[in-house]
A and B are shown apart, each in its own frame.
Chain A
Amino acid sequence: MYRLRLWAVKRSYQCERLYTALEAALVKLHPLFEKIGYNRLERPVAVVERAAKTLLFDCKMCGQCVLSSTGMSCPMNCPKQLRNGPCGGVRPGGYCEVKPEMRCVWVLAWDGASRMKEGHRIGNVLPPVDRQLEGSSAWLRASREKALSLQVSVDAERTSLARAFPTARRAEPAAAPLAQEPGNTAQGGARK
């Protein structure tokens, strides 16, 4: 919802704290998640995640949530889906070039980031979205990424992408994931 999305950006500091706590909890739960199996968890968690984040952020379930790096303003609501800042077409008053009735997602993002503890993260260069991960749970992905030792053998494509975006990889690892994806998620299924 647009209104709630604006509200969430206004309270970006509180949202950030909530998100930090959520992430810490998810990382703690990693051993349990592994026991249950990330595959089995994927669907129910994704359903909950979609509901909560759609309500609050107009989430599009890109699967690579970077809200903490974008002032709690979801960049997938940008009609151009820009992940790294506004385009040059922002209208007077900070409205969107493509949807003139909507506030520019990135004007909001910078505003939100200015109130966040880790707001400087907005300066990190983020990689393009991996479209194979659309619809999957970014929460579980963040949990895996943060919890797992990254000394796993990963394929060269992902290593290379992560190397090309080192700061993003550090600050928002789910945006340039390296850890093994569970067997039959979108990613695992599509890759051989």
Chain B
Amino acid sequence: MSFSASDPTKPYAAPPEGFSSGSELERVLRAGKFAVTSELNPPDSVDPADVFEAAAPLAEVTDAINATDASGANCHMSSIGICAVLTRARIETVYQISCRDRNRIAMQGDVLGAAAMGVRNVLCLTGDGVGAGDQPGAKPVFDFDAISLIRTIRTMRDSGQFLSGRKITKPPHLFIGAAENPCVEPLDWRAQRLQKKVEAGAQFIQTNYVFDLPRFERFMTRVRDLGLDENVYILAGIGPLASAKAARWMRNNVPGIHIPDDIIARLEGADNQGDEGRKICVEFLQKFREIKGVSGVHIMAYRREHLVAEILREAGLTER
């Protein structure tokens, strides 16, 4: 990862000409390079060392690290906290914001706070339902949806205003991202939904796991038909599956995960399932590179972060 200056003790810097942020990720994508992002397993601790330890296997081999915001509705260190810690070490982060836990007042404030700490990439998410997590009795907020959040952040950045119209004296410079799940229903409308996100202001997309190439290719065909690949950078999501059992568990228990039976059968038939999972991941990475309109990949290697460097090497994606 190349480091760029972001020092909270210095005045907030304007982005380079033609850029919406000082983001490394934005620079890589605009330069037409194939980007690699990954997400870190957030610690259940206050120790910054734990954040660095989680980031260590990813920082050198990726363009940016996503800090998840209580994904799966499980409580961990906050994404804004993780970003603040990593940014101090000049590690590029993607600050994930979910609409599940905060209302519009908190979220707009957090966006300013995150930008002040040096965050330059945000990923706007709806968020999994609270029932998916370890505290299902929590109140789901969903004051914004992901799309109104995107538009709000764009308004903050480009018009220098809160949604209330109140002026922001120094607006945030952010590269705005969103998620898409190309392999789940309504399959026929996923590209249109993506179009809506782009219309709202999304500049890059990180998808959920793509383990179904035919579905993804169909989605990308529609994306190209709508001309969206010209207007948004799409990073296809993938990760190494640990075993057939783990894949089945994920499919049944984590919202929005689609893993076709043939992938699970392949894992099941392998002598070393973990190794097979890694191979599958590498194969998908190579296939993604050949699909027109795919600008990069997003690797979600939960508890298998140590494999990411090797996977990227095998896929020929080490040039950073």
Contact = CB atoms under 8 A, between A and B. Distances in A.
Interface of A: 79-94, 97-98, 104, 106-107, 110-111, 122-123, 125-128, 131, 155-161, 163-165, 167
Given A89-B129, A90-B185, A125-B199, A164 B179 contact: no
20 contacts: A81-B145, A82-B126, A87-B126, A88-B255, A88-B256, A89-B184, A94-B186, A98-B131, A107-B185, A110-B189, A123-B192, A123-B196, A125-B148, A156-B165, A160-B161, A160-B164, A161-B163, A164-B159, A164-B163, A165-B148
Contacts of A93: 185
A167 B200 CA distance: 10
Contacts of B152: 128, 164
Interface string B171-191: 000000001110011101100
A85 B197 CA distance: 10
Interface centre among A79, A80, A107, A161 (most CB of B within 10 A): A80
Given A82-B145, A94-B186, A88 B140 contact: no
Interface in B186-244: 186, 188-189, 192-193, 195-196, 199-200, 208
B52 interface: no
B147 interface: yes
Contact of B186 (A80, A83, A90, A161): A90
Given A93-B185, A107-B186, A128-B148, 12 more contacts: A79-B140, A88-B180, A89-B256, A90-B184, A90-B185, A90-B186, A92-B184, A98-B131, A110-B189, A156-B165, A160-B164, A164-B163
A82 B147 CA distance: 9
A87 B189 CA distance: 12
Contacts of B127: 80, 87
B104 A128 contact: yes
Nearest to A106: B186
Nearest to A80: B142
Contacts of A156: 164-165
A104 B129 contact: no
Contact of A85 (B104, B128, B159, B196): B196
A129 to B, nearest CB: 8
A166 to B, nearest CB: 10
A157 B164 CA distance: 4
B148 A126 contact: yes
Contacts of A107: 185-186
Interface of B: 99-100, 104, 126-129, 131-132, 140, 142-148, 151-152, 154-155, 159, 161, 163-166, 179-181, 184-186, 188-189, 192-193, 195-196, 199-200, 208, 255-256, 258
A77 B200 CA distance: 23
A89 B255 CA distance: 5
A88 B144 contact: no
B165 A157 contact: yes
Contact of B185 (A82, A92, A157, A159): A92
B144 A160 contact: no
Contacts of A128: 104, 143-145, 148, 152, 163
B138 to A, nearest CB: 13
A99 B184 CA distance: 16
B165 A88 contact: no
Contact of B128 (A92, A97, A126, A160): A97
A85 B193 contact: yes
Contact of B145 (A84, A91, A104): A84
Nearest to A131: B143
